[in-house]
Copies of this chain bind each other. A is one copy, B any other.
């Protein structure tokens, strides 16, 4: 006999328990929402909320009519936090500072994959943690999309932070990779030429028009962590 369950968290925990204890093995079908609700003594919506969460994590596969089954090959989804650099540094208990190294307006190199007709602001920024190089960032901003950037004061807020506060909600894509530090990277990050640096490339859109593209190179030793 199952104990009565009420909250969706409890339902989730019970489902996870059954998966863990192999009452339901990977690939197995589990009862439909209505039946589970009756068995666990709660409303169907509650079961729905619980199972939906597990499906979002990739633990369950749900399809209308086909029902719900335990994922056979769980494509686990982990959530990584993408904070602005200042917060990232401060979370490490260090003091953040940033320096704008270069700032000029001009056309964009074809290598950036952007419309070559617009004007762009080119920004090179170094972020410091307790005075040591932390992140070297090279960015182009499309002034046709974000004209207010042209006169932005970047002393108090870094380019990214400034954009975040003034450009409203945006979509974007992001890619993580490892690269050997270029001469330029090495010089700014104070690391050996060729050292492995964690690189984040990010494009931010306003609708379907790219606002900004950036390549961020973290000083050696950087780690991005999360749980799953």
Q: Mark A1-29, 1 if CB is under 8 A from B, else 0.
A: 00000000000000010011110011000
Contact check: which of B19, B176, B197 meets A196 at CB < 8 Å? B197
The reply to whether B84 and A73 contact each other, CB–CB distance below 8 Å, is yes
The reply to whether B173 and A196 contact each other, CB–CB distance below 8 Å, is no
The reply to whether A19 and B72 contact each other, CB–CB distance below 8 Å, is no
The reply to whether A224 and B19 contact each other, CB–CB distance below 8 Å, is no
Q: Indicate the size class of the contact surface on chain A.
A: 35 or more
Residues of B within 8 A of A168 (CB): 19-22, 25-26
What is the bound-complex CA distance between A41 and B127, given in angstroms? Answer: 47
What are 10 A-B pairs at a CB distance below 8 A? A19-B169, A74-B84, A76-B82, A78-B79, A172-B228, A173-B225, A173-B227, A175-B224, A178-B199, A180-B194
Given pairs A78-B82, A173-B228, 17 additional interface contacts (CB within 8 A)? A20-B206, A26-B165, A26-B168, A58-B81, A75-B81, A75-B87, A77-B81, A78-B79, A82-B228, A174-B225, A174-B227, A174-B228, A175-B223, A175-B226, A178-B197, A178-B220, A179-B196
